[in-house]
Chain A
Amino acid sequence: MSEPATIIDVRDVSKCFRLRQQRGESTIKAMAVDILRGRTKTRDFWALRDVTFAVRQGETVGIIGSNGAGKSTLLSLISRTTNPTSGTIETTGKVSSLLELGAGFHPDLTGRENVFLYGAIMGLSRAQMAARFDQIVEFAEMADWIDEPVKHYSSGMYVRLAFSVAVEVDPDILIIDEVLAVGDAAFQRKCIGRIKEFKRKGKTLLVVSHDLGTIHKISDQLILMEKGQIIAAGDPDAVVAEYQWLSREKSRTAESKEWGTGEVKIERARFLNEAGEETQELTRGKQLQVQIDYSTQSRIATPVFGFAVQTASGTLVYGNNSQIDGFDIPFVEGQGSVCLTFESLELLAGAYLFSFSVHSADHQTNYHRLDNALPINVTSAERYEGLCHMPVRWGVGK
């Protein structure tokens, strides 16, 4: 079987916005102010820089990245609501897009009128739309509201109707920007069901979402964007890991802090895998060693070394120290290292931050504490839920 055809072809696309330093509209007043002040103060902002990627027929591609990375700009370019500053975008077939809330609905028109309006924008005839109308209303669960002006709708109703229409106009390419987060859980499940059905029909889907779990589940390929550029693309597991890694790195520099008397100083901490190689990535269930290098000015008796593992959002997963574990360290002097071994690291897939501390046995003196010092990325083949693995046994009773 031959490779499916490329259906979205984005080549060297850049988009520049010219920002006026003073916010405002172009009026005589604004021009006069500019002339009096000398030059017009504008600043170029490159929302996208040399973005190239291709989507094949039938693929579902997710785009992830932090706020302002250019995801929505990219989608609006592919939807042709704006034009690139340079580069080309080619799409094959009918593109239906759900860009943010709104989807082009007119607040004064009723749901029914808006459904037909959207259908017409998608190039469907009135008769074609009429044939799909009942299904759209049923899927959106809007039968009681369809003849009300949409300005009276709640945001959930709005997005339900918009999603139903966008899917039901039978596009070749469906573009969804972050709208699924709006509906309630039940509707979200329904949407994902519909998206899967859409995929089965061999249609192409492009999704932007901050909901990593969902986007990971539905995508065949993920694209990670940062500051208007693609920094990773391909296998969803790898890209999600990369993204979590990136956000950890960011939060680490933001949140990492250290304090203490410095009588014992943690110079360095590093992760080692089974083979003794330094790593920042591990598969769940593998052995992990943490080597903590310290240095002291003088001889310090009975220090206690501790560590804690947190998620990116700051949830404490586990904390322990040498004292609790009954591992006595008589004294430390000069330079040395403390080794901590997880025989089997049972953290589930995700990124975690390790904090380390060393303090006196009576907890009165804090020698050195490093918060959120060392990030690690855990991958896992199994799709468990939660933070850590708990081995269980299943059985069947009579």
Chain B
Amino acid sequence: MTLCAMVPLFKEIYAFRDLLWILVARNLKIRYKRSVLGFLWTFLNPVFMIIIYSIFLKILKSFDPSDPIFLQKLVTGIIVWQFLSMCTGDALHAVLGNANLVKKTSFPRIILPLSTVLANMVNFLFVLPILVIFLVVTHAFTISDVSILPLIIITQFALCLGLSLILSGMNLFFRDTEHLMGAVMLAWFFLSPIIYDFARIPERFQRLAMLNPMCGIVTGYRAAFLGTDLMAPRLVGLSLLVSWLVLVLGVVLFQRWQVNFGDKL
């Protein structure tokens, strides 16, 4: 599929933008309507993770123990990771959970995973200021590479959308996706520099690690907020490129699969 083939898709999505917003609002509403603490959960989950990891990492020494902003790096990493892991989790049911809509009505199916990713994006954008406040209060916030922040956010969005498209479609044809996901996400978590610094990866593996899009994304966020070294910008660029390739792959696969969604549900 060339980029030209994407244009009608964009047009289609634009034509159904009202549906997209309704679905985004619905996703947010359904998630928070049912629980007493509502939006706080978006915030409390990473807080628990951070507390647990900060204790264990002190013992494990995965960050440089003398690093004064080790906690801030960890918090940034976990919050960034949470956006991804919530997207992939929701993606599994983006199409499956809307069987009613898919079987009974006609609209561009891509709206479904797109709406779950956008809902999580909204969540993430609400959490980001809280992260910034935390970094400011702890005197770790440094205005240096903030200019790259929009690029990093959009790139992470592309990665999340690409993965969501693949997962939401795949889960229909291959129901084990749901179970495999847990293990894959756990491995990915530890392979990404979230509870450690990218610099701690042995040099000979660093090139390979940069193929992991989360390496570039997490390193990018840290550079933007904490003024840490962007490492080799070219390598970060490479892992950002991978994110966009995942998106293209996701769109191509999803559009190919969606023809049969109605029969699979």
Contacts and interface: CB of A to CB of B under 8 A. Distances in A.
Contact of B105 (A17, A28, A97): A97
A250 interface: no
B11 interface: no
A33 interface: no
B6 interface: no
A104 B100 contact: yes
A81 B104 contact: yes
A120 interface: yes
B52 to A, nearest CB: 32
A121 B259 contact: no
A81 B106 contact: yes
B260 interface: yes
Interface in A107-154: 108-109, 113, 116-121, 123-126
Given A79-B106, A81-B104, A83-B259, A120 B22 contact: yes
B105 A103 contact: yes
A27 B174 contact: yes
A109 B15 CA distance: 23
B200 interface: no
B107 interface: yes
Contacts of B22: 113, 116-117, 120
B100 A123 contact: no
A52 interface: no
Interface string B165-182: 000000001111000000
Given A28-B176, A105-B100, A83 B262 contact: yes
Nearest to A177: B104
Interface in B217-265: 259-260, 262-263
A102 B100 contact: yes
A83 B260 contact: yes
Contacts, number: 77
A117 B104 contact: no
Interface residues of B, number: 28
B188 to A, nearest CB: 20
B16 interface: yes
Main secondary structure of the interface of A (DSSP, over half): loop
A124 B105 CA distance: 14
B106 A95 contact: yes
Contacts of B29: 109
A108 to B, nearest CB: 6
A125 B102 CA distance: 20
Main secondary structure of the interface of B (DSSP, over half): helix
Q: Indicate the size class of the contact surface on chain A.
A: 20 to 34
B30 interface: yes
Contacts of A121: 16, 19, 101, 105-107
Contacts of B207: none
Interface in B26-64: 26, 29-30, 33
Contact of B103 (A81, A109, A116): A81
A120 B22 CA distance: 8
Which residue among A26, A121, A125 has the maximum number of chain B CB atoms within 10 Å of its CB? A121
A370 to B, nearest CB: 47
A123 B104 contact: no
Nearest to B178: A27
Contact of B18 (A76, A83, A95, A120): A120
Contacts of B16: 120-121, 123
A82 interface: yes
Contacts of A109: 26, 29-30
A120 B101 contact: no
A106 B115 CA distance: 15
Nearest to A99: B104
A40 B18 CA distance: 44
Contacts of A83: 259-260, 262
A229 to B, nearest CB: 20
Contact of A106 (B15, B21, B100, B259): B100
Given A109-B26, A120-B18, A121-B107, 10 more contacts: A28-B176, A76-B103, A83-B260, A100-B104, A102-B100, A102-B104, A103-B104, A105-B100, A106-B98, A121-B16
8 pairs of A and B residues whose beta carbons are closest in the complex: A82-B262, A120-B19, A80-B106, A104-B105, A104-B104, A120-B18, A25-B175, A104-B101
Interface of A: 17, 25-28, 76, 79-83, 95, 97, 99-100, 102-106, 108-109, 113, 116-121, 123-126
13 contacts: A26-B175, A79-B106, A81-B106, A82-B263, A83-B262, A97-B105, A100-B104, A102-B100, A104-B101, A108-B30, A117-B22, A120-B21, A120-B22
